[in-house]
Amino acid sequence: MAQRLYLFCLFLSLSLFFTLSINQAVPAIFVLGDSLVDVGNNNYLPLSLAKANFPHNGVDLPGKPLGRFSNGKNAADFLAMKLRIPTSPPYLSFTSAPNKSEAFLKGVSFASGGAGILDETSVGILKGTKTDETMNATRLGILGSINDLIRRSITFNQQIEYLSIVQGELVRQLGNEAAQNYLSKSLFVIVIGSNDILGYFDPSPTAPPKSNPQQFVDSLTLSLTGQLKKIYDLGARKFFVAGVTAIGCCPSQRNQNKTGGCNEEANYWSARLNEGVKSMLQGMQSELKDMKYSYSDTFGILLQFIQKPSNYGFVEVASACCGLGKNNAEIPCIPISQYCPNRRDHVFWDLYHPTEAAYSIFADIVFDGPKQFVFPVNVKQLVTM
Ligand SMILES: *[C@@H]1O[C@H](CO)[C@@H](O)[C@H](O)[C@H]1NC(C)=O
Ligand SMILES: *[C@@H]1O[C@H](CO)[C@@H](O)[C@H](O)[C@H]1NC(C)=O
Ligand SMILES: *[C@@H]1O[C@H](CO)[C@@H](O)[C@H](O)[C@H]1NC(C)=O
């Protein structure tokens, strides 16, 4: 009996130890990226139309739409829940707060819908508008200015600038050594690249002529390499980097295929970008010994959802839940659009973004999943390293 009690206590203290060590391993999460992890930064951009703080976004959240491109929570929320800390709030919600240094100690999100690796990547309602010969220079000019307006998002480079402001505040508050220690234990979530690929295959009418796709993808990898090194130089040591998904399978891209299948070209180049990013990460880790990362094969995860939907509780893998027209993807999810009652069984919420259900399963896999989908380690392993 005493021995049992002893074992029981040992078990209890071990579980407590592991629970605590997860909590202490990650003092904070810093999120950089695009709409897949934006928790409301774009609400603070007065001129941006790349927003989600209107119905029917957030229909499954209590209260008003909060600026997430989803019917409910998104990947940033679920990752934070896995690590048992609150979702890092939008950086722009603190710019004038007197206690912002205090807030920064709990982690912040710089992610912004529409952001891409390249500053010129844009996203907006004009995407997909085909340039036709009858469009004269005046009209193109007007469309260009509108597009400038609606593509306003915090570029990835600007997000890194904001991170350096936060780092400066932390150094001021904690001193150099403690700030470095804090940042080195924090998790840096990086979700970027989808909008660059979408912009290439679905250009705005005024986009400048593009290089060939291989050159384009190489330029993305090169740019991302420099950007991740900057983040490392600011003190980050633990990176979770999400690969770009099978973008050709999102409802907007399926609509460009007469048979309703995925846009294979967009998928091919998404996969090429992922190859570049994977070898870049390997190279970074062998060059910078104290850098650790976890990379998710987001592409492979989406293909699993599409190929074996019932394994994940999905029924509809092609059409968006919220929108209008073919695949509910000709009109985005705006207040006049319709939305489906059965959100749990849809992979896609709108023409580009997953449902809360899909985000949640994605987070389960990257947190605790097998090497097939997340490597060289999963996020749970990364945070306790
Ligand atoms: C910052 O101050 C406001 C009130 O001035 C408070 O509501 C908020 O919780 C504070 N944030 C943090 C992170 O301390
Ligand atoms: C361009 O098109 C607009 C309307 O489509 C028309 O009003 C304008 O006169 C045209 N400009 C030229 C220079 O052809
Ligand atoms: C369209 O989808 C089909 C599968 O339904 C696929 O075989 C084909 O390659 C796709 N076409 C393009 C242009 O992506």
The whole model's pTM is what?
0.84
Residue 257 lies in a domain: yes
Does the beta carbon of 102 sit less than 6 angstroms from any atom of ligand 1? yes
Does the beta carbon of 259 sit less than 6 angstroms from any atom of ligand 3? yes
Residue 19 lies in a domain: no
pLDDT for res 111 = 96
Kindly indicate the confidence band of residue 128, based on its pLDDT and cuts at 50, 70 and 90: very low
pLDDT (average), residues 278-288:
97
Cα of 202 vs centre of ligand 3, distance in Å, is 16
Q: How many CA within 13 A on the CB side of residue 337?
A: 25
**Which among 8-22, 117-131, 144-158, 315-329 has the top mean pLDDT?**
315-329
Does the beta carbon of 96 sit less than 6 angstroms from any atom of ligand 1? no
Which residues are CB-neighbours of 73 under 8 A, at least 6 positions away? 61, 356, 359, 360
Percent of the chain residues topping a pLDDT of 90 = 68
Residue 162 lies in a domain: yes
Burial of 225: CB neighbours in 10 Å, binned 0-12, 13-18, 19+: middle
The count of structural domains within the chain is 1
- Assess contact for 348 and 354: CB atoms under 8 A: yes
pLDDT for res 96 = 74
Choose the residue to mutate in 93, 95, 99 for probing ligand 1, maximizing ligand atoms within 8 Å of C-beta: 99
pLDDT tens-digit series, residues 40-93: 998 887 656 677 777 889 999 987 768 899 999 999 999 999 999 999 999 989
Residue 11 lies in a domain: no
Choosing from 35, 88, 153, 252, the catalytic residue is 35
Give ligand 2 pocket residues (Cβ under 6 A): 136, 138-139
- Provide the token pair at 280: 């870049």
Ligand found nearest the CA of 134: 2
Known catalytic membership, residue 35: yes
What residue ranges in 247-308 does DSSP mark as E strands? 292-296
pLDDT tens-digit series, residues 317-359: 999 999 999 999 998 898 899 999 999 999 999 999 999 999 9
pLDDT (average), residues 207-228:
89
Question: What's the angle, vertex CA 160, arms to CA 159 and CA 161, rounded to 5?
Answer: 90
- Is pLDDT of 171 > 60? yes
| Number of Cβ within a 10 Å radius of residue 10 | 10
Residues in the chain: 385
Residue 3 lies in a domain: no
CA distance 296 to 239: 11
**Helix (H/G/I), strand (E/B), else coil: 72:** coil
**Helix (H/G/I), strand (E/B), else coil: 346:** strand
Kindly indicate the confidence band of residue 133, based on its pLDDT and cuts at 50, 70 and 90: very low
CA distance 22 to 14: 12
Label residues 26-53 b or e (16+ Cβ within 10 Å = b).
Answer: bbbbbbbbbbbbbbbbbbbbeebbbbbe
Q: Tokens 């509809």 label which residue?
A: 316
Mean pLDDT of the chain: 86
Q: Tokens 């202490």 label which residue?
A: 24
Indicate which CATH number applies to the domain containing 47: 3.40.50.1110
- Is pLDDT of 209 > 80? no
- 287 or 132: which carries more pLDDT confidence? 287
Residue 6 lies in a domain: no
Kindly indicate the confidence band of residue 124, based on its pLDDT and cuts at 50, 70 and 90: very low
Structural domain of 77:
29-94+107-383
- Assess contact for 60 and 26: CB atoms under 8 A: no
